Amino acid sequence: MNAHFSSHKNKTNREYIYAPRFGRLQTLIPHKTCWRCQTFLIDPPFLFTAGCLIAFVARRLLVSRKPNPFGPSAWVAVGYALFFWASVTWFSFNAPDWMLNYFVPAEMVPMKALHAVFGLGLVLAALSGHTITAVLLQRRQNIAAGLTLLSGLIVWGGLWVLTIDRYMVVGTYAEFVAGTASPLQESSITSAMNIVGGLQALGAAIPLVFLWRAGQRLKAR
């Protein structure tokens, strides 16, 4: 059933959109955006996709190691997953309800244990994406390898789109239910998100460049 929407402005001149499907007021997404939303739900498929991409970048190295799908690129996938996990630790304990997508109150969840399991899940996701893609590339099944990467992108993007209303506001579970959570761009975590997003991009770019150059040197021999 398609929801009907209506909008209005409050005293602070902030425009809201009312969505009956959610039963509360939703802030319209402003033009200013953050680097990338990061929560427990969307990060595993993101790391799966990252693992696939790492395998593609290290394609020459992987083909030369056939049939072994592991090696430097697999370690990069694992290392990046752990780096990514460490980089979002601050959010797990300073915006736990947001990290949980407001599905359950954070006080009902053992956050330390959850964050530890989350880290393991990220490692498994990244290594799975890398290994599946690596094996397919070694077997010269390039279309299947590309579809594996695409599947990760679809799951990651699909989850992001389907739950975007939960990502774009920051507050406690009670504030989210009441519709009083702050817009993401005006929240206290915005600066941290942009800093962490930059570090994550840099942490991915450096090893990818090294893998690509190693593959180029291998070709030149």
Single pTM value for the model: 0.79
pLDDT of residue 68: 87
pLDDT at res. 85: 97
Map tokens 């460490």 to a residue. 86
The residue with tokens 């579970």 is 173
- Above 70 in pLDDT, residue 8? no
Q: What is the pLDDT of residues 175-189, one digit of tens each?
A: 999 889 999 888 889
Give the whole-angstrom CA distance, residue 187 versus residue 183: 6
Listed residue (53, 41, 39) closest to 151, CA to CA = 53
For tokens 């992108």, what's the residue?
Answer: 153
* Residue 59: closest CA among 151, 149, 121: 149
Given this model, what pLDDT does residue 67 score? 86
Contact 43, 101 (CB under 8 A): no
Q: How far apart are the first and last CA of the chain?
A: 61
More confident residue, 182 or 37: 182
C-alpha torsion sign, points 63, 65, 67, 70: negative
| Per-residue pLDDT at 104 exceeds 70 | yes
The domain segmentation of the chain, as residue ranges, is 1-31, 35-220
pLDDT score, position 164? 87
**What local confidence, expressed as pLDDT, does residue 66 receive?**
83
Report whether pLDDT(27) > 80: no
Confidence tier at 4 by pLDDT (50, 70, 90):
very low
Higher pLDDT, 173 or 24: 173
What is the mean pLDDT of the segment spanning 90-104? 92
pLDDT score of 219: 61
Which tops the pLDDT comparison, 162 or 127? 127
Exposed (0-12), middle (13-18) or buried (19+): which is 216, by Cβ within 10 Å? exposed
DSSP 139-175: TT-HHHHHHHHHHHHHHHHHHHHHTHHHHSEES-HHH
Confidence of residue 21 (pLDDT cuts 50, 70, 90): very low
Q: pLDDT averaged over the chain? A: 83
Residues 80, 50 contacting (CB under 8 angstroms)? yes
Q: What is the pLDDT of residue 38?
A: 56
At 188-212, the pLDDT tens digits run 898 898 899 999 999 999 999 999 9
Q: What does the pLDDT look like over 52-70, one tens digit per residue?
A: 999 999 999 999 888 889 8
Which among 90, 86, 165, 72 has a CA at the least distance from the CA of 119? 86
pLDDT tens column, 115-161: 999 999 999 999 999 999 999 999 999 999 999 999 999 999 999 88
